[in-house]
Amino acid sequence: MKTKKQLRARIRELQNIIDEMDRTVRRKVAEYDFSQAEQQKDDPDVGAFNERAAAPQKEEPEILNKRAEILRIAEDLINGDRAQTYGPPEVSFGRIADIFNAMGYRHHVQVEDSPLGYTKANKLDAVDAALILIGMKLSRTIGGRDHMDNWIDLAGYSGLGAELASGEVSND
C-alpha cells in the first residue's frame, strides 16, 4: 500500500501531465492556420468540421450579466462539444473513477448504527470523479481567479455531478 506522501506525489505528477496536455492543446489551437482548412476540405474529418462551422448557428440570447454568460457557456459545452468528444458523463467520469480506484483511492462513508468515525471504504464512482474534477478546478481557480475557463468548468462539472448524483442521467 502506498503512503500518503507517495500518493500526493503521484497526484502532483498526474496534475502536471494534465496541465502540460492542456497547454499543448491551447498552443496548437492558437498556432493552427485555419486557412489550411479550405485546402483540406476533401479530408472527411476536416470536411465534417467545416460543415459544422458553416451550419447556421442558433441565435444567441442577449447576455444579461457575467454569471448568465458563464452558465450558458458551461451548458453549451456539457451538452455539445465536450459531450460529443468525451461521451456521456457516466462513462467519462466512470473512467476517471476507475483510474483513481486503480491507484488505491477510496470513498469512505460512515457505517450506519456504528460508533462515530467508523467508516468503510467504497470504490470511487462517477459522482466522486465529478467531485475530484471540481476540486482540481477549485485549486486552479485559487491560482488564477481571473481565468474564466476555470469558472465555466466548475459550473459544468457541478451540473454533470448533480445529474449523476440524482440518478436521472440525460440521454441527450
- Of 69, 89, 86, 71, the closest CA to residue 129 belongs to 89
- Distances in Å between the Cα of 88 and the Cα atoms of 44, 52, 75, 172 are 24, 21, 14, 9
Beta-bridge partners for 122: 107
Name the residue ranges covered by the structural domains of the chain.
1-55, 65-172
Q: What's the pLDDT tens digit per position in 132-172?
A: 999 999 998 988 888 898 899 999 999 999 999 998 877 65
pLDDT of residue 19: 77
27-65 pLDDT per residue, tens: 776 776 655 545 555 555 545 555 555 556 556 556 678
Q: Rounded CA gap, 67 and 151, in Å?
A: 10
Q: What is the pLDDT of residues 84-124, one digit of tens each?
A: 788 888 888 899 989 888 888 888 888 887 777 677 888 89
Which pLDDT value is given to residue 6?
79
Radius of gyration of the chain from its Cα atoms, rounded to whole angstroms: 20
Contact 99, 105 (CB under 8 A): no
Contact call for residues 143 and 136 (beta carbons, < 8 A): no
CA distances from 75 to 21, 28, 54, 90, 113 (A): 23, 25, 21, 17, 41
Q: Rounded to an integer, what distance in angstroms lies between the CA atom of residue 46 and that of residue 53?
A: 10
121: CB partners within 8 A, 6+ apart:
106, 107, 108
- Whole-prediction pTM value? 0.55
Question: What pLDDT is stored for residue 171 in this prediction?
Answer: 63
Please give the pLDDT value at position 145. Answer: 87
**Which residue reads 476555470 in cell numbers?**
150
Give the chain's length: 172
> How many C-beta neighbours within 10 Å does residue 69 have?
13
